[in-house]
Amino acid sequence: MEFTAQQIADFLGGEIEGNPLVKVSSFSKIEEGKPGTLSFLSNPKYSQFIYDSLASIILVNKNFNPEKEISATLIRVDDAYQSLAVLLSLVEQTKPQKTGISELAFIASTAKIGENAYIAPFVYIGENVTIGDNIKIHAQCSIEDGVSVGDNVRLYSGVKIYNDCVIGNNCTFHSGSVIGSDGFGFAPTEDGSYKKIPQMGNVIVEDNVEIGANSIVDRATLGSTIIRKGVKIDNLVQIAHNVEVGSNTVIAAQTGISGSTKLGKQCILAGQVGVAGHLNIADGTIFGAQTGVPNSVKLPNQTLQGYPAIPIMTFHKAAIVHKNLPELQKMIYAMQKKIEELENKISSISE
C-alpha cells in the first residue's frame, strides 16, 4: 500500500515541509534511506544522515532545526519515535491474519476457546484451560491445566505456560519464554544435600504485558509472582519466585531479579542488571547497565549505577578516579620514597 505525505501528516497530526504528494510504501533507517520509503530522526547523533538520506519522507521532532537543505519531505511531529511506532503498528494490523484451529493441535475436552482463534499445529492445551477471543497461538506452544488467558493474546512458537497461571488481555509472549516454571527453592539438609521445596503458587501477568524470547518468570512458592500491567520485558530475563514487578516497568536483556523482591512502578532496568532478593525498589528507579543492587531503594525517581548501586553522578566521579588509579599509585609510591628520604636526612642530622 502507498500513502502520501499528506495522508501520513493528517493521520499523525503533523506539519509538512516539502511535497505533500510524495508517496511511500515502506520504511528505512535514515542512514540507509531509499526512494519510496519513510524514515525518522529522533536521536540527535544521527542528524548527519538526514542531509544525504534518499528517503522520500522523514519524520522529525517539531524542534528540529536543519543546518542545511534537506531533499526529503519532512513531517514535523511532537515525538518522531512515537509517531513511527504508531505507523508501524498500523501497518502490522493490515497484514493478513491467520485464523482457524489446526487438526494437529491437542485441545482437552474441558478447555474453553474464545472466538476468532488461531491455534497452530502441535499446540497443547490442557484440562480446564480458559482462553479469550482473538488468540494467536503458534506452533509447539504448551498451555497446561487450569491456565486462564485473556483476549488478544499472542503466543509465538515454543511458549510454555505452566499450570494455574493467569494471563491478562493484550499480552505478547515471544518464542521460548516460560511462565510458571518452578522457583529456585531448595532447603539444605544435615548431610550437605538440598531438598526441593515444592512451588505451590502461580504467576499472574496483567494486561498489556510483553515478554521477550527465552525469558523466564518463575511461579511463587506460595501466593503469586506478579507482573503488573504495561510491563515490558526483553529477551533473556530471569524473574524469580514471588517477585512483583510494578506497572509500566521496563526490563532489558540479561537482567535477573531474585526472589521476593518488589519493583515499583515505571522503573527502568538496563541490560545485565542484577537485583538481590527480598528488596523493595521505589517507583521510577533507573538502574544503568550492569548495576548490582544488594539493598532496597527507598527514594523514588533516582538513577543508580555500579556495584553496589550508587547515584549515577557519584558513579561517574568514581569511574574517573578508578581510571587514574595506576598514575595515582605511582604518585603515592614516589611520595613514600621522598618521605623516607626526608626521614633519613632528619635522623642523620639529629644524630
Residues 173 and 295 in one domain: yes
Of 87, 67, 78, the C-alpha closest to 5 is: 87
Residues acting as catalytic residues: 241
Asked if 94 and 76 count as a contact pair (C-beta separation under 8 A), the reply is no
Shared domain check, 194 and 282: yes
**Residue 143 bridge partners (DSSP):** 125, 161
The answer to which of 30-39, 67-76, 89-98 has the lowest mean pLDDT is: 89-98
Domain end, chosen from 94, 111, 136, is at 94
Mean pLDDT (whole number) for 222-241 = 98
Q: Residue 242 and residue 276: Cα distance in Å, rounded?
A: 13
What's the CA gap between 161 and 149, in Å, rounded? 10
**119: in domain:** no
Query: Which pLDDT does position 351 carry in this prediction?
Result: 65
Same domain, 304 and 317: no
- Domain residues for the domain of 331 are 312-351
Give the number of other CB atoms < 10 A from CB of residue 206.
Answer: 20
pLDDT in tens, 144-185: 999 999 999 999 999 999 999 999 999 999 999 999 999 999
Q: Is residue 76 part of a domain?
A: yes
C-alpha R_g of the chain: 28
Q: Over the stretch 275-292, which tens digit does the pLDDT of each residue have? A: 999 999 999 999 999 999
CB distance 253 to 268 below 8 Å = no
Burial 116-150 (b: 16+ CB within 10 A, else e): ebbbbeebbbbeebbbbebbbbbbbbbbbebbbbb
What are the two backbone dihedrals, phi and then psi, of residue 119, each rounded to the nearest 5 degrees? -130, 115
Give the pLDDT of residue 278. Answer: 97
Percent of the chain with pLDDT over 90: 87
- Burial environment of residue 73 by CB neighbours within 10 A (0 to 12, 13 to 18, 19 or more): buried
In a domain, residue 107? The reply is: no
Q: How many Å is the maximal CA-CA distance in the chain?
A: 104
CA distances from 326 to 314, 315, 316, 321 (A): 20, 19, 18, 10
Give residue for cell 519513510: 38
Report the CATH number at residue 14: 3.40.1390.10
DSSP class per residue in 106-135: EE-TT-EE-SS-EE-TT-EE-TT-EE-SS-
Q: Looking at the structure, tell me whether residues 80 and 207 fall in a common domain.
A: no
Q: Which of 60-64, 95-99, 111-115 has the lowest mean pLDDT?
A: 95-99
3-state secondary structure at position 308:
coil
The model's pLDDT over 39-57, given as tens digits with 9 standing for 90+, comes to 999 998 999 999 999 999 9
Structural domain includes residue 121:
no
Amino acid at 234: D
Cβ(204)–Cβ(186) under 8 Å?
Answer: no
- Cα torsion angle, 55, 57, 62, 65, sign: positive
In a domain, 34, yes or no: yes
CA-based end-to-end distance of the chain: 98
Residue 74 to residue 55: CA distance in whole angstroms: 10
Q: Are residues 168 and 304 in the same domain?
A: yes
- Same domain, residue pair 168 and 257: yes
Q: 273 and 329 share a domain?
A: no
Strand order in the sheet with 166-167: 112-113, 130-131, 148-149, 166-167, 202-205, 224-227, 244-245, 262-263, 280-281
* Number of domains comprising the chain: 3
